[in-house]
Structure formats: C-alpha cells, structure tokens
Structure 1
C-alpha cells in the first residue's frame, strides 16, 4: 500500500494528457509538436534517470531518494498546472520525469531489499509489472474525463495532489531498507554485466512489457478502424486484457511456489507463443473482431503476469547490496528493447493488423526460452 502509489504515478504521468494535446498549445503559446515532444522526453528521462538514481540509492539509501523524487514530482506537477510558458512546461516535464524515475527505482529496490526471499515478492512484482503495462493505457481516459470537467491544467493538479497523498504516509511509515554493506560501483557493474541470469530475466521482462506495448500501439487501428468498435467498446475490450492480468496476479505466488522462477518464466513465454499463434490464425482466417484479437491477448496477458512475477527477482537475486544499480540497469535495458524493437515491429509489419504483436511476442518468447535453456546448462 505504501509502494504501489509511486509505481502508479510514474506510469500514469506518461501520457495522461494525450487527449488534450490539441488544446494545450494555445494556452502555452506554442505548437502541438512541442507539447508532443514532452511525451517522448518523459519516457527518455524516466528510463535514463534510473541510471543516476539507482547507484545513488545504493549509496545514500532508498528512503531519501524516494522522498526527494516524490517532492520533485509533486512540485513540478503543480508547476505544470500553473505555467503559461512552453519553455517552462518542457523543463518542468523533465523534472517531473526525474522525480518519477527516482521514486520508481527506490520502490523496486525496496521490494528487492524486503521481499527477495519471501513469497509476497512474486505478487508485488507481478502487480507492479501489470501497473507499468496497463496504467499508461488507461491514463488518457482519466485525463479526458478530468479535462472535460475542469480543464487540462487540472490534470497536473491532480497528479500533484496524488503525489502528496502518496508521500505523507511514506514519510511516516517507509523505513530505510538498504543493506549496510554496499560494493564499489566498478565491482557492482562488472557483476551485473556478466550475469547470465540478469540478462535472461531482463529479456523476459522486455518480452512481457513489450507485448503489451505493441498491443497498445496497434489495438486502436485494429479494433476501431478495422473492426468498427466504438470508443466505449474499445475501452471495455482493452480493459478486459488488464482484467485478465489482475485475475492472474491473484495466483502469482502459488505459481512461483509450484514452478519456481525459471519454470514461471518459461511458462510465461509459452503463453506468449500460444497467444501469438492464436493471433496469427485469427489474422489469416477471420475478420478483425473481439474473438480474433482481444481473446488471444488474454492468453498473452496471463503470460505477462507469469513472467513479470519472477523476472525482477531472477534478474536482481544476486545483487542485494547493489539492488539500486541493478534495478536501474534492469529498467533501462527493458525500456530500450521495448521502445526500439517494439516500434520496429509496428513500423515494419502492418500496424493495422495483428502481425506486429505476433512478431514481437513470438520472437521475444523464443529468444527467452533459448536463453533459459542455455542458463540451465
């Protein structure tokens, strides 16, 4: 309950104002392209910022990094709600992303510190992985509702208020969890970069998160343009995939106890492969519909949870004393793979069809399964 709000806020702020981008340039006396640029800047700073805040959290502790990050996020969000300058809007958006990055890395490092050897860890990691995947997809809906009633500036005021609401209990109840002994940076980096388990489990997380990213990128064109879904129908269909993830999360700890980390990751990749096969069959033999596109995504959603419930523990298991640095690199690698490979599949294959999702989920799952086989040897 203490950690989840920071994970949600970091995800929610990615693109919550997407529906009102066309309304904002007039107030900021700028162009739409400048406002759109802040979407990309946020994601870049969110990923790269962790390379700064991860090692910092190993040195000074999780709690101070989290508190400073939350304060930066809240203050910059309030500034975004008040500013009338495009330059200040861009600067404040970068500060907001930096704050979110600090809070996110401190949160995941804390999970590693406290829950590495406990069954709750699998549930928490799968929940946080699910949030990172589907919260940005639902964020624009929330942004549209807030802007419709109170104007676009209220979106950032709400983010500031939520950050303060998350920070207050954290100030009272969030203890320092950093291990007493921390290895040198050079030793820690060498251990991370040469760890086969780190790379395989990070690829597994990339396969899971990227599959949802490609689904999010192609679903509007497939379901609204291709299948003729209304906006409400599309939103409900999209939410059903998130619901499948939430249901599966309920059983994550049982799956990990029964199959272990490698077993869960392997089964998650098999579910991604099965979903890709079902999508391919639907694309070849059916017209775009709920049955041909959304229902196979339920299978992939189960795979996403199975994978994300163990990938963090699998990747970070050997780096308790340098968890902040390992978490930072874990997210940075995942962000780059998802952004580059996911976008490449959407561009190179027909983005109006299921083929980008088939290609990404299928190829990444096969790559991870091959890596697991090598790791076992």
Structure 2
C-alpha cells in the first residue's frame, strides 16, 4: 500500500508519550513482542526429523523452510519499517501479529511441505513487524543515546529468556506429543501479542512526526540511510555481529553433537548457558551506559569478540593437528570457554551499535531499524550457507566464520565517523 499524502497536521508540538518518564514495564512488553522472531526460529528445530517423516519428504526440504523464514523476515522488515513511520507503531504490530497467528495455525494443520512452506513465509512477513517496531518505539520514547542503549539492554534481556527455553521446549513437545503443537502454540503467542498491543501498548509516534509514503520516497529513504556513513557503519556492525552468532547457531549442533558427542539434552543446556552469558553482558552494559562512553563500550566488546574467535581458531588448530590423544577430551572445554569470550560481548555490541545507528534518524526510526534488521538477516543467512559448505570434522569452520564476523566488526568500528570517536 502506498500513498504520497502527508500525514494529518496537528497544531502544537507533541508532548512526551510518558509524562513522568518511561515506565519499566515498557521494556518487558517490547521484549515480549520482539521475542516472536527468535522463538519462532529456534523452537521447531528439534522437530525437523519428525516433520520429514510426517510430510514424507527429504531433510533438505524441511531445512529449506528455515531459509524461507529468514527470507520472509528480510523482505518483511523492509516493508514494515516505512509503514510504521507513516501509520504509527501500533497498526503494523497489530496486522503483523494477526498475520503471524493465522499463518502459524495453517502451519499446524498443513498436510504437505508445500503448504507448510508457504504458510511459514507468510508467518515470517507478519513476524517481521515485531522485530522492527519495538526498536523504533525505543527511539521514539528515548532520545538520549545512553538511556536508549540502557533500555535496549533491558529489552534484550527479556527477549533473550524465551529463546533460551525454546529449543528445550520444542524437544519436549516432539518427544511426547505431535510437532504440530509447536505451531498451535505459536498461533496463541501471536494472539497474546495482539491483545497486548491493543490494550497495553500506547502509540509512541505522534501524527506530527509521521512520514509520507510512496515508492520513490521509500527508495530515496533507504538510499539516504545507506549513504549516511554513521548509520551504515553501525548497522553493519550489528549485521556482522549477527553473522558471527548465526555461524555459531548453524555449526554448533554438528560440532557438539556429532564431533564432541553431546546428547540433545546436554546440547540444549549448552545453548541455554551461552544465552545466559549474552543476556548477562547486556545487563552489564545497562549498568555501564551513562558511566562509560557507548563508543568505548562498543570498541571494548568488539575487541573481546575478536580475541575469543582467535582463541577458538587456535584451539581448533591445536585439536585437529597437534593435541596428544590424551588431551583431546579437554578440547571441548577450551572451545566452550573461547566461545563464551566471543559471543557474550554481543550483548553489549548490539544495543550500543543499534542506538548509534538510529540516533541521527528520529523521524525515520522505523525505516532505519528495518534496514538494519534486513542487513542482519541477510548476513545471518549467508553465514548459514557458508558454514554448511564444510563438513563437521572439527570446530575450525565454525571458529573461522565467527572470526570473520568479529574481524569485520573491528574493521567497521575503525572507520566509524569522527563524531562518535571517544575523546
């Protein structure tokens, strides 16, 4: 839907959405809404073998549904962001979550992989609203970068709790009942989000700040954002952070289950532990923002991630060619330790880089958040493709791809605009 008309004009400057300061429950609400994307990605992974049998199809066709999900998220975010800048934050969230709920219900009773894949694509388009709009809401209600990064850290904590539990819950569902229950539960989650947006979430974008929308305006807006050096650098930092994280997500099941012989339960526990470290880092970030310059925090976290991936590569090389047989059992613990050092800082990298990317674009926060999110999922999907080209005979492919993402973050930070340099 496109329109070149300007939004309605209201006399007077808009007042703050929350006259007495941003309430603490807003972070909980936005985090719950944003978690739609991560939980929908993770929760059905343990169901792949059961879906393959149920649909009488190949493992590749089932795995392709995950790629379809990522493609839909990337496309949907590009569309939802400008719509949120034109029509406000609540309407895209309502429509998106209704679409997600209905499509998830179709996934639940789909008789074949073709209908399932089509419904999964539609669900991802709907879910993209919950990935874009909450971040724009943060920019709407908080203009100060330090306060915004602090709020983003709280949001990450909330949205991170659900993905910790998602793989374990999905595994339990597949173990005791049908995999289709996962998608009925997803439909209910979407309906709960609709209710929260209807009755709890206020509109954070006043009419005076809404942007016109047309095909040419949309193209110009995205080109302008990409041409903004500050925005592009920090958006790419979040994207390469996602590349590093998705390299881990794609390779870890093969590395730890096939190479290090973890049971599915033990792997789920490891997945949860890694998520706890990332969420913990985001809360440390929330405590430090305001006391330490966000650019300094970001640089320190990026350097720490680079160090962790270098250690992972070193451990992989040692384990594959130089480790005595008697010491091979210790390799897994060294890999896990280095992985914590590499991944935990993403809890600091994401909120600071995202708020710096959005800082100079308050009137286009929806489009700016959408473009950054699209870059993240495009690079995340690319990470999955690259890692999938290597056999899981060692931890080196995972370490190498994670290292590439970390080094690219460091390169991006090196070319950041002088305006954000640490004094």
Indicate whether the TM-score tops 0.5. yes
2:261 to 228, 236, 241: 228
Q: Name the counterpart of 2:374.
A: 332
Does 2:86 match 1:59?
A: yes
Displacement of 1:259 in angstroms is 3.1
Aligned residues: 376
Q: Name the counterpart of 1:7.
A: 34
Q: Identify if the C-alpha distance between structure 1 residues 42 and 342 changes in structure 2 by more than 3 Å, giving closer, same or farther.
A: closer
Q: Name the counterpart of 1:153.
A: 180
3-state secondary structure, aligned to 1:259: coil
CA RMSD of superposed structures (Å) = 2.7
- Distance in 2 (CA, whole Å) between partners of 1:336 and 1:186 is 19
Q: Name the counterpart of 2:169.
A: 142
Matches within 5 A, 1:190-269: 190-269=223-302
Q: Name the counterpart of 1:176.
A: 203
What CA deviation, in whole Å up to 9, does each residue of 1:224-276 have, x standing for no partner?
32223233322222322111112222211233323323212211110111101
- Distance in 1 (CA, whole Å) between partners of 2:71 and 2:160 is 16
What CA deviation, in whole Å up to 9, does each residue of 1:97-155 have, x standing for no partner?
11101222122211221234264532443455577789667533322212333312211
The answer on whether the counterparts of 1:21 and 1:36 sit within 8 Å (CA) in structure 2 is: yes
- Distance in 1 (CA, whole Å) between partners of 2:53 and 2:260 is 35
Q: Name the counterpart of 1:81.
A: 108
The answer on whether the counterparts of 1:20 and 1:152 sit within 8 Å (CA) in structure 2 is: yes
Q: Name the counterpart of 1:275.
A: 308
The answer on whether the counterparts of 2:244 and 2:406 sit within 8 Å (CA) in structure 1 is: no
Q: Identify if the C-alpha distance between structure 1 residues 89 and 340 changes in structure 2 by more than 3 Å, giving closer, same or farther.
A: closer
- Distance in 2 (CA, whole Å) between partners of 1:214 and 1:297 is 12
- Distance in 2 (CA, whole Å) between partners of 1:374 and 1:27 is 51
- Distance in 2 (CA, whole Å) between partners of 1:172 and 1:82 is 30
2:411 to 364, 370, 377: 370
2:194 to 161, 167, 187: 167
3-state secondary structure, aligned to 1:210: helix
Displacement of 1:196 in angstroms is 1.2
- Distance in 2 (CA, whole Å) between partners of 1:356 and 1:127 is 33
Q: Name the counterpart of 1:318.
A: 360
Which segment drifts farther, 283-292 or 235-244? 283-292
Q: Name the counterpart of 1:294.
A: 336
The answer on whether the counterparts of 2:309 and 2:402 sit within 8 Å (CA) in structure 1 is: yes
Displacement of 1:358 in angstroms is 3.3
Q: Name the counterpart of 1:343.
A: 385
Matches within 5 A, 1:351-370: 351-370=392-411
Q: What stretches of structure 1 of length at least 5 have no aligned partner?
A: none
- Distance in 1 (CA, whole Å) between partners of 2:140 and 2:71 is 26
Displacement of 1:66 in angstroms is 0.2
Q: What stretches of structure 2 of length at least 5 have no aligned partner?
A: 1-27, 320-327, 419-423
Q: Identify if the C-alpha distance between structure 1 residues 20 and 346 changes in structure 2 by more than 3 Å, giving closer, same or farther.
A: closer
- Distance in 2 (CA, whole Å) between partners of 1:339 and 1:131 is 24
What CA deviation, in whole Å up to 9, does each residue of 1:56-105 have, x standing for no partner?
11111110000111111112222222333544323221221111012221
Q: Identify if the C-alpha distance between structure 1 residues 33 and 6 changes in structure 2 by more than 3 Å, giving closer, same or farther.
A: same
- Distance in 2 (CA, whole Å) between partners of 1:345 and 1:25 is 22
Displacement of 1:194 in angstroms is 1.0
3-state secondary structure, aligned to 2:272: helix
The answer on whether the counterparts of 1:67 and 1:103 sit within 8 Å (CA) in structure 2 is: no
* TM-score of the two chains, using structure 2 as the length reference: 0.80
The answer on whether the counterparts of 1:275 and 1:300 sit within 8 Å (CA) in structure 2 is: yes
What CA deviation, in whole Å up to 9, does each residue of 1:5-53 have, x standing for no partner?
2221221112422323333356556655444332211111011111111
- Distance in 2 (CA, whole Å) between partners of 1:132 and 1:43 is 18
- Distance in 2 (CA, whole Å) between partners of 1:71 and 1:93 is 14
The answer on whether the counterparts of 2:316 and 2:399 sit within 8 Å (CA) in structure 1 is: no
The answer on whether the counterparts of 1:275 and 1:296 sit within 8 Å (CA) in structure 2 is: yes
